[in-house]
Amino acid sequence: MPRLLLVSSLFLLLPSCLLVNEQAQPSAGFGLVAASQYNFRGMVNNEKGVVQADMTVSLPTAWENGQLTFGVWSNFDLSSDVGDAWFPEGHAGEPSEIDFLLQYDETYRGFDVQSGIISYALQNPDDFPFAAERGETKEFFLQLGRALPLELYSLLRFNYDFDEVDGLYVNGAVSREFSINDKLTASGEIGLAYSDDSSSEWVYGLEESGLADLRLKAATNYLYDAHTTLEASLNYATILDDDLSDWFDQIGIESDNFWITLGARWGY
């Protein structure tokens, strides 16, 4: 399966890199979010509040209706105290993680297909309290999305870490969006993930394969003007695997978590 994901990702990315239209007009997006917690795949990375910023630049390609996107995302700790969490303490106002993205989007036979590479760069690799060094690593990802009856939308996403971890994380989700008026929308999503031994060891600190995190999300988006969207969300995540949940108890990190986000996004 990991090799299949790698081949599929390269197959989808290479045409996009070669066939960007010379007359293509790029689009840019910027986001800024304040979150009461940074939760990654069910693991509490920071319990005391963070600010997250991202920037993307997208180009349409000459390959059907494809789009090539380059992006960067960062997480900033708001205080030196991260609480009962995975990330190291003592880095208030500093980026604790910076990620880089190369992504290709395409619609094929009714499926929304995303494929690409994410480079994760944890900024304090030697200071993790519950694990050995955690620095840079990279994942290929392949995501398939499709509309369902009752205005539902489904997705299945495979993340294969081909660098430091050699691990697989699979996430499935179903969501629905509700239009309240011409400016305000609401949405709900439920997701469930599987993590293999290697992926669990890297993210959670324990070699254990099985169902990882169950997630619920309720969100609202408000179109403030032609370029600005205001966002808010209420999130919940819990660890389903018994051994992983027991491990969270041993290291003193909560395996059932609620958090909220407030933010804005600008598009041009």
Please report which helix (H) or strand (E) contains residue 106, including its range: strand 95-108
Q: Identify the residue whose tokens are 């995302």.
A: 73
For 8-21, what is the mean pLDDT?
55
For 234-251, what is the mean pLDDT?
97
CB atoms within 10 A of CB 268: 9
| Amino acid symbol at 232 | A
Start-to-end CA distance of the chain, whole Å, equals 38
Question: Is the model's pLDDT at 198 over the cut of 70?
Answer: yes
Q: Two tokens at 229?
A: 């969207």
* Tens digit of each residue's pLDDT (9 = 90 or more) over 161-173: 999 999 999 999 9
* Tens digit of each residue's pLDDT (9 = 90 or more) over 73-120: 999 999 999 999 999 999 999 999 999 999 999 998 899 999 999 999
Please tell me the predicted confidence (pLDDT) of residue 15.
Answer: 53
- Which residues face 223 on adjacent strands? 229
Domain spans, the chain: 2-267
What CA–CA distance (Å, rounded) separates 209 from 174? 23
Alpha helix ranges (H) inside the chain: 2-18, 197-204, 242-251
Q: Please provide the CATH number assigned to the domain covering 2-267.
A: 2.40.160.40
